């Protein structure tokens, strides 16, 4: 079938880990690539952005950058150019004489576009939100989200043919929040490339494993402050351990984190290399004793899963998206309380106990192999085919 994938701001050629780029960019790329390998024709539509002509290898799918608003338009201003985005996609499809069997959208901005295109083309529409305003607001009340987002997410969830979610908890939240039936949702967790992110037990044993790792955006919801407080405790107990924070964020948040590190007098023990290419991450993961994910909320912790594929145990917050990856006591530890002392204890336990670390490394890799991209995309392909077929069958006469 021919699939139109809408990802307004999450272009798959943007390096993950930056201000507005993360797991969704990886998700769109991996799913589109593997759907194409299964024989589907996939066209990804994303908005123009700086650097879009650089550093993106040939893919099996077709990526089109849509002109909608000025190049440097901030994400918070994107709602006002969505209608322009719709018109441009319609024009491109008409110029290419494309008709689509299915629309797939990612994030609420793309969901709004997808609903418009679905009506224009009379095409079934599948969406994934990746994150919801109502969930962010629950865990971080000070988060400033526009009213249009709350309204749009409810409308998109109601109007689409199905919502693909990562966990049962995400489905239950939307059932309650939007008053939707259970059969509106399909649970398909994302995956990991277990060839790219690999684990070599011998290399693991030879490494001293004195690095604690964080990978993700610098964002209040990610709980970086909790990690810094935990590391301040560890630094007084284990002299040769360091912390590496990989990822970027808004300049103000980056400066705030640097200031907090300075106030804790840990600048010589903490490295912030910024955003790194995906090609460098497997070694970063493999060289770490553990990865720490102290998030207030995670829809799905892709970095934790990538680390698991490299045999790196996790110390993670006991929240929905991370709970689906980390097997407490087996592949790492889940911590319910937001207590830096508890994080410090569990991190130290893994850092200072090589036999335990080896045992958890093997278990983490085994868990990652259960969550491969190929399995996830095979499930998505079946869902897409089923929904497309259902739309094409006329309703019975009454």
Please name the residues in contact with 19: beta carbons below 8 A apart, sequence gap of 6 or more: 217, 248, 249, 250
CA distance linking residue 56 with residue 355, whole number of Å: 41
CA distance linking residue 54 with residue 74, whole number of Å: 21
- The CATH number assigned to the domain with range 201-369 reads 3.40.50.2000
The secondary element (H helix, E strand) that includes residue 2 is strand 2-6
Q: Give CA 123 to chain center in angstroms.
A: 26
Q: Which of 45-54, 228-237, 377-386 has the lowest mean pLDDT?
A: 45-54
Residue with tokens 């909320």: 297
Q: What is the pLDDT of residues 201-253, one digit of tens each?
A: 654 455 556 899 999 988 888 999 999 999 999 999 998 899 999 988 788 88
CA distance linking residue 261 with residue 265, whole number of Å: 6
CA distance linking residue 366 with residue 352, whole number of Å: 23
- Predicted confidence at residue 398, as pLDDT, reads 40
Q: What is the pLDDT of residues 123-163, one digit of tens each?
A: 999 999 998 989 888 877 777 788 999 999 999 999 999 99
Q: Does domain 2-191+373-392 bear CATH number 3.40.50.2000?
A: yes
All CATH 3.40.50.2000 domain ranges of the chain, comma separated, are 2-191+373-392, 201-369
């Amino acid at each position: 079938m021919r699939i139109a994938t809408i990802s307004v701001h999450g272009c798959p050629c943007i390096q993950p880990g930056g201000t507005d780029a993360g797991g969704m960019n990886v998700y769109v790329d991996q799913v589109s690539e593997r759907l194409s390998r299964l024989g589907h024709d996939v066209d990804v539509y994303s908005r123009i952005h700086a650097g879009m002509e650089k550093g993106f290898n040939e893919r099996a799918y077709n990526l089109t950058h849509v002109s909608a608003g000025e190049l440097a338009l901030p994400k918070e201003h994107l709602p006002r150019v969505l209608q322009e985005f719709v018109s441009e996609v319609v024009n491109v499809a008409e110029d290419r004489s494309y008709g689509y069997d299915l629309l797939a959208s990612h994030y609420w901005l793309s969901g709004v576009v997808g609903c418009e295109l679905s009506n224009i083309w009379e095409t079934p529409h599948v969406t994934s939100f990746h994150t919801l305003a109502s969930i962010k607001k629950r865990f971080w009340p000070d988060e400033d989200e526009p009213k249009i987002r709350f309204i749009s997410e409810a409308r998109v969830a109601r109007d689409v043919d199905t919502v693909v979610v990562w966990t049962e908890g995400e489905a239950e939240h939307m059932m309650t929040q939007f008053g939707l039936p259970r059969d509106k949702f399909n649970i398909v967790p994302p995956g990991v490339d277990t060839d790219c992110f690999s684990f070599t037990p011998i290399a693991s044993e030879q490494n001293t494993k004195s690095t604690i790792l964080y990978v993700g955006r610098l964002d209040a919801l990610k709980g970086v402050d909790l990690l810094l407080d935990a590391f301040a405790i560890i630094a007084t107990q284990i002299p040769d351990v360091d912390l590496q924070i990989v990822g970027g964020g808004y300049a103000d948040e980056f400066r705030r984190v640097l200031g907090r590190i300075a106030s804790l007098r840990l600048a010589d023990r903490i490295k912030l290399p910024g955003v790194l290419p995906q090609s460098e991450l497997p070694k970063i993961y493999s060289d770490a004793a553990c990865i720490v994910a102290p998030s207030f909320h995670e829809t799905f912790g892709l970095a934790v899963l990538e680390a698991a594929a490299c045999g790196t145990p996790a110390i993670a917050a006991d929240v929905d998206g991370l709970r689906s990856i980390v097997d407490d006591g087996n592949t790492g530890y889940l911590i319910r309380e937001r207590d830096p002392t508890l994080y410090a204890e569990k991190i130290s336990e893994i850092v200072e106990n090589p036999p335990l670390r080896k045992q958890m490394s093997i278990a983490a890799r085994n868990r990652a192999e259960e969550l491969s991209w190929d399995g996830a995309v095979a499930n998505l392909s079946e869902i897409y085919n089923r929904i497309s077929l259902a739309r094409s069958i006329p309703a019975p006469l009454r």
